[in-house]
Structure 1
Amino acid sequence: MAIDPERLESRLREEFGGTRAQSRVVVRQAVDLADSGQYHEDVGVDLTTRVVVDELSDAPDGGPPERWNWWIGSLELAYGGYGRFGIRQYRA
């Protein structure tokens, strides 16, 4: 697997703060996205912890879920088919 869930959760909290629940929901979605192969197919690179953190760093602000949704929205606009990876609701 290209994403180490524990490492990604740790990096999200280091970089963007938020609660453990917020980071975990992003990790679940990131693992699902990586497992789907869609990102690799569209972008041509594996989805890794580094890619996720780098992409979320480009978001204007917010905690991990808000940054994730911003990035997923960008992928949806560029390629389509990413809406299912968005975070609709999470418990803080």
Structure 2
Amino acid sequence: MEEFDAEALAAGLETFGGDEAERRAVARHARDLADSGRYVEDADVELTPEHVVVQLADAPEGGPAERWNWWLGALEFAYGGYAEFQLRRWENK
């Protein structure tokens, strides 16, 4: 498994708006999820930046953080164990 490219995901999240800090925060959480191996184990799909963007595009609305949390909520419902990867807050630094 390749290392998760958080920078590529942050760039891909631009399509959903939000500011740079929000996109970086989502990308860090996605990298943590990828590093955990939980998604591959549950869904049998490698977590890549492209895959995350496709999944977040299914969200009804919102910026990157809202879409990320919507997807993680669906994963929590389906498999359990994803709440720890939800984004609670981010700082614009």
Separation in structure 2 between the aligned mates of residue 65 and residue 86 of structure 1, nearest angstrom: 9
Q: Report what 2:91 is aligned to.
A: 91
Aligned 8 A contact 1:26 1:64 in 2: yes
* 1:70 paired residue number: 70
Query: Which residues in structure 2 correspond to 1:1-92 (within 5 Å)?
Result: 1-13=2-14, 15-92=15-92
CA RMSD of aligned residues (A): 1.0
- Report the CA distance between 1:75 and its aligned residue: 0.1
CA displacement at 1:2 relative to structure 2: 4.7
Q: Contact 2:39–2:47 at 8 Å: present in 1 too?
A: yes
Q: Deviations over 1:52-81 (max 9, x none)?
A: 000000001110000000000000000000
Q: How many residues align?
A: 91
3-state SS of 1:88 partner: coil
Per-residue displacement from partner, 1:9-42 (whole Å, max 9, x unpaired)?
11101x1011000000000000000000000000
Instruction: Give the fraction of aligned pairs with identical amino acids, expressed as a percent.
Output: 54
Cα drift, residue 3 of structure 1: 2.4
Structure 1: give runs of 5+ residues left out of the alignment.
none
Which aligned segments of 4 or more residues in structure 1 are displaced greater than 2 angstroms? none
Conserved 8 A contact 2:16-2:62? yes
The alpha carbon displacement at 1:46 in A equals 0.6
Contact 1:2 1:48 in 2 (8 A): no
TM-score (ref. length: structure 2) = 0.93
